[in-house]
Structure formats: structure tokens, C-alpha cells
Structure 1
Amino acid sequence: MGLTEQAYALSESMLAEPLPRRWAHSLGVAKRAAGLRLIAGRDADVLEAAAVLHDVGYSPSIATTGFHPLDGARFLRDQEAFDDRVVRLVAHHSCALLEAEERGLRDDLVGEFELERPELVDALIYCDMTTTPDGGHTTPAERLDEIVSRYGPDTIVGRFIQRAAPEIHAAAGRVDERMATASTG
């Protein structure tokens, strides 16, 4: 079984039944990642695998800290011996370092998981932040508004996502630029 097939099967087994909406979102994020193959090149499978697995840490069977990027990355590393690059992308997806700071888990995240290449980090941010909770397409601005509305502006998630907004918009802009350049070149 290839990397992406393994990732889809694992994500489905962890999310589809207990968290069907989260599973739909993960499928939508993976679909967006597949659409970036032109700029992902040889890293396309790594990006798509990370995309479908990025929220696996929400699974009730592995959620221990309440911080899904760390819980998911630890599970993928320790229980599944998953590809290191995928694990690092899951650990740091969508500006997770900022949320880790809000939760007092920054040292854990940084100490256990190195950052992946910036182009892949940007691509995963783009995929996550252009996908609705139900797996549909949206804009980063609409997605950020939805997250703040869902969690509330004064919650950990609300505070972190508002702090992350400039970097999320910048990452999405960089991906859009790379796609435009690749499609005209």
C-alpha cells in the first residue's frame, strides 16, 4: 500500500465514524492538496497524505492533550511509524506553533517535531484554510471568520487563529502565486 492509500485508510478509521464532519473536512483538504500537484512535484504524495491526516489528533481514541496537532503527530510517529515528513506537517499544520503557545505546549511541539520545508507548510495551510468544515471550498478570510465564530474570539482557538491570520493570508498568497507561475510557465 502506498503512502497516500495508507494515509486515507488510517484517517478514515480514526475519524469517519466518531467524527464524520471532521472526516469530510479532511477529505476536502486532501482534495485541495491533490489539486496542488503541479507545484508540489515530488512531494505531492507527502502533502496529500498530511492533508488527509492533519486532523487525526481529534480522534477520541488518541486525543490526550486536547491539542490535536501534537496528539496526531505523536500517534502517527509512535503508534504508526508514519513517514517523518508527514508527521512533521501534521504537527505544525496551520500555524500550530501559535496555538501551542496559547496552550503552554510550545516547548513540546518544537522539541519533538522539526518544521518541514516552508513550501509544504504553506501548501498545507492553504489546503486547510480553503476548506470548510464540511469539505467544501472557501476563502481564507471566510474560513478564519468561521473558526472565530464557531469557537468564539476569546477562546484559545479564537485567540490563536486571530494571531495566525496574517501568516495564513500570506501563505495562501504564496501558494496562489506559485500556482499562477506554474500554470503559465
Structure 2
Amino acid sequence: MSDQPGPAEAAALAEALIRPLGDRWDHTRAVAARATELLPAVPPPERNPLVCAAWLHDIGYSPDLRTTGFHPLDGARHLRLLGWPSPVVNLVAHHSGARFEAAERGLSGQLGQFPFTASPTLDALDTADLTTGPSGERLAFPARIAEILERYPADHPVHRTWAKAAPIIAEAVRRTEARIAAQPR
């Protein structure tokens, strides 16, 4: 990719890859809208990567991209091949506690090829994703985690991940909400 792609390009790519997946497309559109609401929580230079990553965070669910079956990794690899900027690629790779699930799946080494950076931008992406239900409905973070834990059996890597990661990601949501609350009205 020669120039910096923006949200329109991210939305188009996401639509091409995710729209056929039904509710996943509804979720993706709602996460992008929620990320846009959360823009005041991140520094201005990071706002474009946030919205792009929100559009692209679940492209790894596309059967066309599936190599490991771990959607953050599969999506990030595809974006890197397309030449997306590393801030966007790394946000997709690490969204919503991916490092915890990678450990559950034995994929930490592969995910490690994408640098992890704790930041207000990752916090905001996690907040957008984890306050949006699987069909695009707005949910409070505890309700979203409860929905995930109910959807996956206790022995599934996703369930095991959220049983461990929820308190840590809850702090990311809390930090984002505090950043938004601190903005002048």
C-alpha cells in the first residue's frame, strides 16, 4: 500500500471479507461506530489507526484468510501482506486480549512477530469490541464477557482465555471510559 489507507479503505476491505459472514458484519460495523465515538480517548495521530483497526479487527474470521484458525493472527498476517501500516496491523493482532488466547492455543511465538504495545489506542479498540455484542448490539463489558463465556464451553480456549483475561481487559475499558470522562464538554 503506497499511501496511508484510511477508514474508507478499511471498511471496504472488511466488507469484502466479513459481509458474507452475517452477524459478524453487523458486529464489525458497530465496533467501527463505537471506535469513532471513542476517538477523544486517543491522541489525534492514533485516531485513524483506531478506526481502521476497528473495521479490520475480525477479518481473520474470513475463510479466505484462515491459516491458523486464530483470527487476530490470521487477520494481521493478511494486512501485513497487503502493506497496511504496522500500527493498524499490530492493533488487529493484539485486539481484545489476543495475547491470552494465543497462549491458550500455543500460538504466542507466532503472535510475537507483531509487537504488543499497551496504549490508549489498544484500550479503545478493546473497549469498542468488548462493548459490542456479536450481532452489533451495545452491551456493557460484564454482559459481553458473560455472553462469551456462555457461548463457549468451559474447555474451549476462548472460554479459558476470558476466565483469565477479563479482569485485565476490564481495566482497559475502565481507562478508556476515564479518558472519555476527562474530556471537556
TM exceeds 0.5? yes
Find the counterpart in structure 1 of residue 123 from structure 2.
122
For residues 41-96 of structure 1, the C-alpha deviation after alignment (integer angstroms, 9 at most, x for no partner) is: 23111101101100000000111101000000001101x11111100000000010
Structure 2: gaps spanning 5 or more residues? none
| Aligned-residue CA RMSD (Å) | 1.2
- Partners of 2:83 and 2:5 lie apart in 1 by 14
For residues 94-128 of structure 1, the C-alpha deviation after alignment (integer angstroms, 9 at most, x for no partner) is: 01000000000001111x10024511111111011
Ranges of 4+ aligned residues in structure 1 off by more than 2 Å: 39-42
Q: Which deviates more from structure 2 when the two are superposed, residues 69-78 or residues 149-158?
A: 149-158
For residues 113-164 of structure 1, the C-alpha deviation after alignment (integer angstroms, 9 at most, x for no partner) is: 0024511111111011000111111011000000111112221100001111
* Contact 1:32 1:127 (8 Å CA) reproduced: yes
1:136 match: secondary structure? coil
- Partners of 1:117 and 1:139 lie apart in 2 by 22
Find the counterpart in structure 2 of residue 11 from structure 1.
14
Find the counterpart in structure 2 of residue 178 from structure 1.
179
Alignment map for 1:109-148 (pairs within 5 Å): 109-110=111-112, 112-148=113-149
Alignment map for 1:41-80 (pairs within 5 Å): 41-78=44-81, 80=82
Q: Residue 14 of structure 2 aligns to which amino acid in structure 1?
A: S
CA drift at 1:38: 1.6
* Contact 1:85 1:116 (8 Å CA) reproduced: no
* Contact 2:41 2:124 (8 Å CA) reproduced: no
Find the counterpart in structure 1 of residue 102 from structure 2.
100
CA drift at 1:2: 4.5
Find the counterpart in structure 1 of residue 168 from structure 2.
167
Aligned in 2, Cα 1:2/1:107: closer, same or farther, shift over 3 Å? closer
Structure 1: gaps spanning 5 or more residues? none
- Partners of 1:162 and 1:124 lie apart in 2 by 20
1:146 match: secondary structure? helix
2:96 match: secondary structure? coil
- Partners of 1:33 and 1:89 lie apart in 2 by 13
TM-score, normalised with respect to structure 2? 0.94
1:157 aligns with 2:155: no
Find the counterpart in structure 1 of residue 26 from structure 2.
24
TM-score, normalised with respect to structure 1? 0.94
Find the counterpart in structure 2 of residue 85 from structure 1.
87
